[in-house]
Each structure stands twice: as C-alpha cells, then as structure tokens.
C-alpha cells in the first residue's frame, strides 16, 4: 500500500508538468495581452512605449522558454508569482477565493449526497413503480436544468416572493462573510448556490446510485442472503449499498473536483467571489500568470481527489488490494 | 470660463436637471450624517495608482480616498465648465501672463491620512509625476498636459503652472478625476510604484481594506478639509461584474447605487418593481462609439468608399430606436453634445452623414460606391468587441445600415483582448468599432482622436489638413475663435471619414431613493469622491 501511495504521488509530478506545458503554450497563442487591456481599454491615447514598458515589467518580452522556466521553477521555491492585473501575490488572490469555493463545494456535495443516496436507493428498491418514475423524472430534470438557470430562478423567486409577502424585495447577500464571523449571513448567501449546484449534482449521483445498486442487487451473494432469510433492510444497507458505492464515489469525486473552479456561471449569477469567477476574470484580462496557476490548482485538486477516491475504494471493498 | 458656464447652465444643464426628476427635492433636503453606503462596481481594480490607470473599476472605489487640486463642481457636475477648488483655496484661478501662467493657492491645515501635512510640494510632485514622469514610469494622462512647460512651488501654499502657450484645455485637464494628489514624502521614500499597492491621500474617506474581487471598504476621514463632510460614516464598494447581479442588488437592497449606468430596460424594470423607492438620474454621457476604417486596405483607401459608409447611417432613426434598448441616444458631432464648442443642430445637419434626408444620403452613398468600383454585395470584415452594452447593439445596427447601401459587412465579435489586438496591433480589419470615452469634458483634448497622428487613432490615415487645423485649435484663445476653428476641424475630419461618430452614450443611474446628494455627471468617472452623499433615516447600513 505504501509503495502504491508513493507511486501515485510521484505520478502527480509528470501530470502537473504536462498540464503546465499545455496551458502555458496555449495561452500564448491567444492574440493580445494584459497590457493592451489595461492601458488601451478606455480608448484613451496610449503611448506604444508605455505598453511596451508594461510588458517589460511583467516579463512578457522575455523569450517564451525563459518565461516557461520562470513559471515552473516557481513551484520549487513556492513562489507562484504575482497577478499581472493586480500585482498582488497569486497565493493571496487564490486564498481569498479558495475558502468560498471549498465551502460551496462541500455544501453542494452535502446537499447532493443527502438527496441522492436515499432517492437512488428508493428508486432501485422500488424499481418500475410510480416511486421510481417520480425519482427518475426528478433526477432527469436536474441533469437537464443548468445550475446557473436554476440559480437565476431562485434569485428571481426570492425577489418576487419577498416583495409579495413582506413588501420589500430581498436577495441573498452579494459579498462573502466567513461563517465564523457571521454564520447566518454566510448561510443566507451560500445555501442558494449550494442548492442550485447540489440539485444537478444530486441528479447525477441519484442515477448512478440507482443503477449501481440494481446491479449489486442481482449478484449471487444478495440472492444467497435473501435465501437465508435475512431481513431486506439489512441486505440493502449492509451488503448491497456499501458495495454499490464504488462508482458513486467516483462520480462524487469528479463532481467535487469540478466544483472547485468549475462553477463559472453559477458564481457569476450569485456574485460569489470564488475560483470560477476568478478564472473567467483572469482569462478576460489575459492575466497569464493567474490563469496558469488556477488551471494548475484545478488539475491538482482533480488528481488529488481521484487519488483519495482510489484509496477509499480499498476501504469500501476489501477485495481491492493495491501493491 | 464664466461665460461658458452661464450659457451652458441655461441651455443644457437645465434640461438635464429636468430629466433628473427629483433633483429639486434632493437639493432642498438637509443632509443627515451616518451610515455606510454600499454600491456595486462592474469592473476590477488593476492597481490603486490613478495616474496610471484608466478604468472606473479603480476610480469608483479608490477616488474617495484622494483629493484633487480642482474638481468638477459636485453640486453642478452637468456643467462641463464649472470647476471648483478642492485642495486649492478660493475660486479656480484665471490665467495670467497672456494665458500662460496659473497660480493656485493651497489650503492650509490639510493632512494626509498618515498625518503628514499637505503642502504645495506635494501638488508639484504629483503633477511632475503625471506630466513629466521619469523614464519607465507610466502616466496615462501625460498627453493632456502638452501645453505645460513647468510646475513650481515657490512657497508652501502656492503652486504655479507655466504653460508653453495659452490653452483652453488646461483647466479641464487639471480637473481630471484620476489626478490624485500624492504625498511627496511617499514618492520620495517609496518610489513611483508605491501607490499601485498602497493608499495615502487627503480624501473624505480613509482606506480600511480591499478584498480582491469582493469589496473595498472606506471609513470617514474626521480631518477632511470640507467641514462637516463627508456625511457618511463609510462606504463599501462591492465588486459585481454581471449586470443582472447589480440590478438585482439594488432591487433587493443589497446595494444602494451603481455609478456607471444601466440600459433603459433595466431602468424600466427597476421602476416597475420599486416605484417611489427608486430615483432615476439621467444624462448625456461623454463616451461615443465610432466606426474606424482601415485606410490602408482597399477599397477603404478611397475616400469615396469611406464617405459612403458614414452616409449610409441614419443616426436620427438609430437614436429613436436604439435609445430604447441600449445606453446610446444623442446625435452629435465630434464634440460632446450641448457643449458650447459643439455644433448646433443646423451646423450638424450640414456635416456628412447628418442630413435628415436619409434616402438622399443613401442614394449618394450608392453613387459613390459605384464610382469607386465597389460591387453590390461587397463583403468586408467588421471588427466588434464582445460587450453587449452598447458595442454589440450598435454593431448590429451598423451592419443593417451598411446593408442598405448594398454592402455586406461580416461582423466578427471578439473578447476585449483580441479586439484590442486586432484594432491596435494587427490591423486585420476593414472597419472596426472604436470608442472615445473621457472624463472631464475637454473638447479640445477629446477631439484629438481624429488626428491621424494620435496614438489612439487606428485608421492608419494621413491628413495634414486635419493636423494643421488641430494645431490652430490648440492655440485658439477665445471661445469664439475656438468654436470657429472647431467647426472647420470637425468638417475636415468627418469629410476625411477615416472615423465616424455613431451615437453618443446616454447615462442612466437608477438608485435607491434614500441616497441623496449624489448628482449625475456626464461621465462615469466624475463626481465619485462621495463627500456630499448621504442617506435618509439611517437607511444606509
């Protein structure tokens, strides 16, 4: 097991290097740069020398390979550089958004899992009954409906509903407050995006839980358990559910990694200062440094989540052994 | 200057004030101190250095921490020639020595937020940085001060600007809201980059925090040099890039105001939802979208083809319909509409592309195209910027207008960085949307965009006539002289047709009715110090 963990951890290095190369060189294929956006953005007279000066200061005039070396070598010294737009350290820029993104990801995962596992189980156990049809319709609607659209509906519903019932329109707060500072304000902002994304997320997990459980319920050992007269509840909860969780866990892991930086539009709808919005803004401003580091962060989260999921497999299914 | 003020107040500002609606009530009410004003800002802060930056994303949250030498009159910001002293004392000085010397007396007893006393040396250091930056120090408004020869601080309370030649563009340039006054001590001790990441001003509010992408927080400066101000305890500038969020935030009372402007539909929706809980202020806007033609590309190297493009556009009908869906409205020439230097309606209609008889104009456009050998259905690349308001709306309208004279423009809409790259570096366009967006209305400086030699003219044109007229305009002393030369310059530039004005922008600011004191200006860069803003009945929290 230790050898496996070490091997997997070491494999992260070439993965990150490959991702670094792709993002670095692809970004430089896009015409324009951050200096153009900053200095020429309002149509004012701009001295070309000032744009060149800006490029020099940001290191954009150096040979591309030198820029790539600087980017990669930053990891060895834990220096991720500065945002080309704000001039602030990238670690600072990311840290501000990371806490919000991780909270939304955790809350959405909780919402999804709390809805999806029971619904998936009920749907599988009550296969082809009206209960199953209702659950399947509910989950298909969740897959079909984009989270951001549900988010827009939620906000409009809150505005219209609060005006109708309380006489004054209300919408969730538009800036983040830590739960340790003001728990209820924090919740009143983040519960809505968690529900909006959690619904779609739960729909995927519900369908996976249902199909995985149905497959396990057809296994020989389940038939044996039933033949022995074991109570159905114990068969489902203790023997079938745990074994059907492997693919579900994979989906949860992928979805969780996606939420860390993938909530691009939903964050815009709720004005969340998260990694997704930062990503969009950095691309829009051609802030190469920040975009590169954000992509690397998302890759790292995805790789690490998959790694954790693989480890949990072994815990869930004792037949799996890593060596 | 006073002559201009009187004339303008009677003709234009009165009209604007009528449109504002509740202004009379606002003026009559007594300011109530207290509260924290929350407002939403669409754009991001690149750095805190006003001398370098050009975006309202920096201006709206950072301007309240700084003072200017002079500023647009906050009680009458609609008047483009009404300036008041901020750090200087008394009235804005008149020029002496044949119009080449301006002497400002500086107020005593002002301190920076770190406690350093303000003297004329700070003003000199600030303007030296803006006008004569050392090599390697960017200054976005250096070109505004071409007429300045030197800045002197003969004593602690006097600053003198010596001009190379008299210029009506000098005072508006000084009042530019990005000219934050910095402490000489900071510039000397920390260098010219320090203000990019640090704030130390003499403004009405003291900087507390900036959480990137989230908000900027400021608190009241108890030592502010205008007694009794600011009225608010502080402000919170909340970053909200999406327009829908900003609209909903005001509707849902998570923010009280947004200072840039909303399209007409948003205003109507908000008025319907909030009724008398909303105040709407409206004004012409010192921004304009243009069509810029790449004069190096055939057939646009032919003046007849360029003239056909502008003749095809029905600006009056465009104003009528586009003003219902976009932030554009007023038909005008090169100069901000309503300014004393702007063309009258009669003069405007004599200019190419401004005739009321659109059928005749389009017939002429077709004839010119035929004469130049441009075939029916001629395809060309029309470069546009991927921003809805008003770029995409105006761009789509232009496509329709040009189709009416038998052309077939292929609109390519690009994100801002790629759009700029095309416009400024690659020149791989035939015609492009271009824009001119300024703060203080300073027509002599603003119209320089039509000079082929201007750094922000992307048509790659050459026209000595236009250059010569501008040089004469720069040196014209009296208003009448300026006006007369401006007409010639405008005609020459528009006839040359390397660029054409579409419609001037129109600024609409719906805000919560409890926000008082803030008056709309013809630019989203102006009147953002917030020292005269207050809220009724503690409704700002």
What 8-state DSSP symbol labels residue A82?
B
Residue B152 reports pLDDT greater than 80: yes
Those residues with Cβ within 8 angstroms of residue B122's Cβ, 6 or more apart along the chain or in another chain: B112, B181, B182, B183, B184
Residues of B in contact with A54 (CB under 8 A): 138
Say yes or no: B275 contacts chain A, CB-CB below 8 A. Answer: no
Residue B10 reports pLDDT greater than 60: no
d(CA A14, CA A36): 34
Question: How high is the pLDDT of residue A215?
Answer: 93
Pairing type for strands B101-105 and B158-163 reads: antiparallel
Say yes or no: B260 contacts chain A, CB-CB below 8 A. Answer: no
Does the distance separating the beta carbons of A173 and B436 come in below 8 Å?
A: no
Q: Long-range contact list for A161-167, CB < 8 A, 24+ apart?
A: A162/B252, A163/B273
Residues of B in contact with A155 (CB under 8 A): 248
Nearest residue in chain B measured CA to CA from A265: B242
- Residue A119 belongs to a domain: yes
Chain mean pLDDT for chain B:
91
Nearest to A36 among B244, B421, B449 (CB): B421
Structure tokens at A130: 């009206």
Mutation test of the interface with chain A: which of B46, B173, B418, choosing the one with the most A Cβ atoms within 10 A?
A: B46
Listed residue (B29, B20, A204, A228) closest to A212, CA to CA: A204
Does the distance separating the beta carbons of B418 and A45 come in below 8 Å?
A: no
Closest Cα in chain A, distance from residue B250 (Å): 9
Those residues with Cβ within 8 angstroms of residue A173's Cβ, 6 or more apart along the chain or in another chain: A185, A188, A189, B254
- Residue A283 belongs to a domain: no
Does the distance separating the beta carbons of B136 and A174 come in below 8 Å?
A: no
Q: How confident is the model at residue A321 (pLDDT cuts 50, 70, 90)?
A: low
Residues of B in contact with A289 (CB under 8 A): none
Does the distance separating the beta carbons of A174 and B245 come in below 8 Å?
A: yes
Average pLDDT over residues A129-141: 94
Question: How high is the pLDDT of residue B438?
Answer: 87
Average pLDDT over residues B317-321: 96
Say yes or no: B126 contacts chain A, CB-CB below 8 A. Answer: no
Residues of A in contact with B448 (CB under 8 A): 45
Say yes or no: B243 contacts chain A, CB-CB below 8 A. Answer: no
Question: How high is the pLDDT of residue B88?
Answer: 97
Structural contact between residues B44 and A285, judged by C-beta atoms closer than 8 angstroms:
yes
Residue that is written with structure tokens 């059907």 in the block: A244
Model pLDDT for residues A154-206, shown as the tens digit of each residue: 999 999 999 999 988 999 999 999 999 999 999 999 999 999 999 999 999 99
Q: How confident is the model at residue A33 (pLDDT cuts 50, 70, 90)?
A: confident
- Residue A82 belongs to a domain: no
CB atoms within 10 A of CB B3: 11
Question: How high is the pLDDT of residue B8?
Answer: 45
Question: How high is the pLDDT of residue B437?
Answer: 87
Nearest residue in chain A measured CA to CA from B436: A43
Distance of CA B454 to the CA centre of its chain: 18
Structural contact between residues A86 and A93, judged by C-beta atoms closer than 8 angstroms:
yes
Q: Is the ipTM of this complex over 0.90?
A: no
Residues of A in contact with B420 (CB under 8 A): 32, 36-37, 40-41
Residue B145 reports pLDDT greater than 60: yes
Pairing type for strands B36-41 and B378-385 reads: unpaired
- Residue A209 belongs to a domain: yes
Residues of B in contact with A275 (CB under 8 A): none
Residue B15 reports pLDDT greater than 80: no
Q: Note the pTM of the prediction, 2 decimals.
A: 0.86
Does the distance separating the beta carbons of B54 and A39 come in below 8 Å?
A: yes
Per-residue burial over A221-233, b = 16 or more CB atoms within 10 Å of its CB, e = otherwise: ebeebeeeeeeee
Closest Cα in chain B, distance from residue A212 (Å): 40
Residues of B in contact with A37 (CB under 8 A): 416-417, 420
Model pLDDT for residues B166-216, shown as the tens digit of each residue: 888 899 999 999 999 999 999 999 999 999 999 999 999 999 999 999 999
Q: Which of residues 413-432 of B touch A (CB under 8 A)?
A: 415-422, 424-426
- Residue A7 belongs to a domain: no
Structure tokens at A105: 């990801």
Listed residue (B435, B392, B395) closest to B313, CA to CA: B395
Does the distance separating the beta carbons of B252 and A87 come in below 8 Å?
A: no
Does the distance separating the beta carbons of A31 and B426 come in below 8 Å?
A: yes
d(CA B310, CA A225): 84
Structural contact between residues B440 and B175, judged by C-beta atoms closer than 8 angstroms:
yes
Q: Which residue has the higher pLDDT, A36 or B444?
A: B444
d(CA A201, CA A48): 49
Model pLDDT for residues B78-117, shown as the tens digit of each residue: 888 899 999 999 999 999 999 999 999 999 999 999 999 9
- Residue B211's DSSP bridge partners are B215
Average pLDDT over residues A84-94: 90
Question: How high is the pLDDT of residue A301?
Answer: 86
- Residue A55 belongs to a domain: no
Nearest residue in chain B measured CA to CA from A97: B213
Say yes or no: B242 contacts chain A, CB-CB below 8 A. Answer: yes
Say yes or no: B255 contacts chain A, CB-CB below 8 A. Answer: yes
Q: Which of residues 32-51 of B touch A (CB under 8 A)?
A: 40, 44-47
3-state secondary structure of B532: coil
Nearest to A271 among B45, B196, B245 (CB): B245
Residue B387 CB-density burial (10 A; 0-12 exposed, 13-18 middle, 19+ buried): middle
Average pLDDT over residues B509-532: 95
Residue that is written with structure tokens 């401004």 in the block: B354
Question: How high is the pLDDT of residue A314?
Answer: 75
Model pLDDT for residues A272-299, shown as the tens digit of each residue: 999 999 998 898 888 999 999 999 988 8
Q: What angle do CA A206, A208, A211 make, to 5 degrees?
A: 105
Those residues with Cβ within 8 angstroms of residue A252's Cβ, 6 or more apart along the chain or in another chain: A109, A112, A113, A205, A309
Residue B28 reports pLDDT greater than 70: no
Q: Which residue has the higher pLDDT, B234 or A9?
A: B234
Structural contact between residues B525 and B439, judged by C-beta atoms closer than 8 angstroms:
yes
Say yes or no: B298 contacts chain A, CB-CB below 8 A. Answer: no
* Integer-rounded Cα radius of gyration of chain B: 23
Nearest to B253 among A38, A86, A168 (CB): A168
Residues of B in contact with A281 (CB under 8 A): 44, 213, 241
**CATH number of the domain enclosing A184:** 1.10.3720.10
Mutation test of the interface with chain A: which of B198, B287, B455, choosing the one with the most A Cβ atoms within 10 A?
A: B455
Structure tokens at B185: 């001590």
d(CA B286, CA A149): 36
Say yes or no: B136 contacts chain A, CB-CB below 8 A. Answer: yes
Residues of B in contact with A41 (CB under 8 A): 54-55, 416, 420
Closest Cα in chain A, distance from residue B147 (Å): 16
Does the distance separating the beta carbons of A277 and B455 come in below 8 Å?
A: no
Question: How high is the pLDDT of residue A119?
Answer: 95
Residues of B in contact with A172 (CB under 8 A): 254
Nearest residue in chain A measured CA to CA from B438: A44
Listed residue (B321, B350, B322, B348) closest to B334, CA to CA: B348
Count of structural domains within chain A = 1
d(CA A193, CA A274): 12
Q: Long-range contact list for A173-182, CB < 8 A, 24+ apart?
A: A173/B254, A174/A270, A174/A271, A174/B40, A174/B238, A174/B240, A174/B245, A174/B249, A174/B254, A174/B255, A175/A271, A175/A273, A175/B214, A175/B215, A175/B236, A175/B238, A175/B239, A176/A100, A176/A272, A176/A273, A176/B214, A178/A99, A179/A103
Does the distance separating the beta carbons of B40 and A174 come in below 8 Å?
A: yes
Sign of CA dihedral B451, B453, B454, B457: positive
- Residue B40's DSSP bridge partners are B238, B258
Q: How confident is the model at residue B456 (pLDDT cuts 50, 70, 90)?
A: confident
Question: How high is the pLDDT of residue A38?
Answer: 75
- Residue A25 belongs to a domain: no
Q: How confident is the model at residue B21 (pLDDT cuts 50, 70, 90)?
A: very low
Residue A233 reports pLDDT greater than 50: yes
Closest Cα in chain B, distance from residue A17 (Å): 27
Question: How high is the pLDDT of residue B361?
Answer: 97
Residue B64 reports pLDDT greater than 50: yes
Helices (H), B108-161: 120-131
Q: Which residue has the higher pLDDT, A31 or A306?
A: A306
d(CA B64, CA B59): 8
Nearest to B252 among A42, A97, A170 (CB): A170
Nearest residue in chain A measured CA to CA from B289: A43
Q: How confident is the model at residue B19 (pLDDT cuts 50, 70, 90)?
A: very low
Question: Domain span at residue A102?
Answer: 91-271
Say yes or no: B134 contacts chain A, CB-CB below 8 A. Answer: no
Structural contact between residues A240 and B176, judged by C-beta atoms closer than 8 angstroms:
no
- Residue A230 belongs to a domain: yes
Average pLDDT over residues B230-244: 95
Nearest to A271 among B240, B435, B455 (CB): B240
Distance of CA B45 to the CA centre of its chain: 18
Lowest mean pLDDT across A209-213, A248-252, B10-14, B342-346: B10-14
Closest Cα in chain A, distance from residue B44 (Å): 9
Question: How high is the pLDDT of residue B6?
Answer: 47
Lowest mean pLDDT across B35-39, B328-332, B387-391: B387-391
Does the distance separating the beta carbons of A50 and B138 come in below 8 Å?
A: yes
Does the distance separating the beta carbons of A284 and B197 come in below 8 Å?
A: no
Question: How high is the pLDDT of residue B201?
Answer: 97
């Amino acid at each position: 097991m230790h050898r496996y963990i070490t091997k997997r951890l070491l494999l992260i290095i070439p993965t990150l290097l490959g991702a670094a190369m792709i993002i670095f060189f692809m970004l430089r294929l896009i015409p324009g740069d951050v200096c153009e956006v900053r200095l020429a953005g309002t149509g004012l007279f701009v001295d070309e020398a000032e744009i060149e000066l800006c490029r020099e200061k940001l290191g954009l005039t150096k040979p591309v390979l030198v820029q790539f070396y600087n980017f990669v070598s930053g990891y060895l010294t834990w220096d991720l550089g500065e945002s080309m737009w704000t001039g602030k350290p990238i670690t600072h820029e990311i840290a501000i958004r990371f806490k919000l993104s991780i909270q939304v990801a955790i809350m959405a995962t909780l919402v999804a899992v709390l809805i999806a596992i029971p619904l998936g189980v009920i749907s599988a156990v009550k296969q082809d009954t009206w209960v199953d049809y209702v659950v399947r319709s509910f989950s298909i609607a969740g897959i079909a409906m984009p989270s951001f659209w549900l988010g827009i509906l939620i906000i409009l519903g809150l505005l219209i509903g609060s005006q109708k019932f309380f006489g004054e329109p209300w919408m969730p707060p538009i800036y983040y407050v830590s739960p340790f500072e003001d728990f209820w304000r924090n919740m009143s902002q983040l519960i809505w995006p968690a529900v909006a994304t959690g619904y779609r997320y739960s729909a995927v997990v519900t369908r996976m839980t249902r199909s995985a459980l149905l497959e396990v319920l057809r296994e020989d050992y389940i038939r044996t358990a039933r033949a022995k007269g074991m109570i159905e509840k114990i068969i489902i909860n203790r023997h079938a559910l745990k074994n059907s969780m492997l693919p579900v866990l994979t989906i949860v892991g992928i979805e969780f990694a996606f939420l860390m930086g993938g909530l691009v539009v939903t964050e815009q709808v709720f004005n969340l200062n998260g990694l997704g919005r930062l990503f969009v803004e950095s691309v829009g401003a051609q802030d190469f440094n920040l975009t590169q580091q954000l992509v690397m962060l998302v890759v790292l989260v995805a790789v690490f989540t998959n790694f954790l999921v693989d480890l949990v497999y072994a815990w869930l299914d004792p037949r799996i052994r890593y060596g | 200057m006073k002559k201009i003020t009187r004339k303008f107040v009677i003709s234009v500002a009165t009209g604007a004030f009528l449109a504002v609606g509740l202004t009379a009530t606002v003026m009559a009410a007594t300011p109530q101190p207290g509260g924290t004003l929350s407002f939403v800002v669409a754009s991001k802060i690149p750095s805190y250095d006003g001398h370098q930056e050009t975006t309202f994303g920096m201006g709206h949250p950072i301007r309240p921490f700084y003072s200017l030498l002079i500023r647009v009159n906050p009680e009458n910001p609609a008047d483009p020639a009404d300036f008041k002293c901020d750090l200087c004392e008394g009235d804005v000085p008149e020029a002496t020595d044949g119009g080449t010397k301006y002497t400002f007396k500086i107020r005593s007893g002002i301190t920076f937020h770190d406690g350093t006393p303000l003297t004329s040396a700070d003003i000199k250091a600030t303007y030296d940085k803006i006008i004569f930056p050392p090599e390697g120090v960017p200054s976005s408004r250096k070109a505004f001060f071409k007429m300045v020869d030197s800045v002197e601080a003969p004593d602690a309370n006097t600053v003198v600007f010596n001009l190379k030649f008299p210029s009506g563009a000098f005072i508006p340039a000084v009042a530019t809201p990005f000219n934050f006054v910095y402490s000489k001590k900071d510039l000397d001790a920390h260098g010219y980059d320090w203000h990019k990441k640090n704030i130390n001003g003499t403004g009405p509010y003291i900087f507390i925090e900036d959480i990137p992408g989230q908000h900027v927080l400021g608190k009241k400066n108890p030592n502010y040099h205008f007694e009794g101000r600011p009225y608010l305890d502080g402000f919170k500038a909340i970053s909200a890039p999406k327009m829908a969020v900003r609209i909903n935030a005001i509707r849902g009372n998570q923010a009280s105001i947004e200072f840039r402007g909303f399209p007409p539909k948003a205003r109507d929706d908000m008025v319907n939802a909030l009724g008398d809980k909303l105040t709407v202020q409206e004004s012409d806007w010192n921004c304009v979208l243009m069509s810029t033609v790449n004069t190096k590309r055939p057939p646009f190297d032919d003046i007849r083809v360029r003239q056909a493009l502008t003749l095809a556009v029905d600006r009056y009908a465009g104003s009528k319909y586009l003003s219902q869906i976009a932030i554009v409205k007023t038909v005008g020439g090169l100069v901000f509409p309503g300014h004393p230097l702007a063309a009258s309606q009669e003069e405007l209609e004599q200019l190419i592309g401004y005739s009321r008889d659109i059928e005749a104009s389009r017939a002429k456009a077709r004839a010119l195209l035929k004469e130049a050998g441009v075939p029916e259905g001629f395809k060309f690349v029309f470069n546009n910027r991927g921003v809805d308001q008003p770029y995409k709306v105006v761009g789509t309208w232009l496509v329709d207008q040009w189709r009416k004279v038998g052309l077939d423009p292929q609109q390519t809409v690009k994100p801002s960085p790629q759009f700029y790259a095309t416009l400024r570096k690659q020149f791989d366009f035939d015609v492009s949307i271009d824009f001119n967006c300024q703060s203080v209305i300073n027509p002599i400086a603003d119209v320089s965009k039509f000079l082929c030699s201007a750094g922000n003219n992307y048509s790659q044109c050459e026209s000595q006539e236009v250059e010569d007229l501008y040089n004469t305009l720069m040196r014209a002393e009296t208003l009448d002289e300026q006006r007369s030369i401006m007409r010639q310059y405008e005609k020459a530039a528009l006839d040359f047709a390397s660029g054409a004005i579409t419609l001037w922008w129109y600024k609409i600011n719906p805000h919560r009715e409890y926000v008082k004191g803030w008056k709309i200006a013809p630019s989203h860069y102006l009147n953002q110090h917030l020292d005269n803003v207050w809220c009724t009945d503690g409704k700002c929290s």
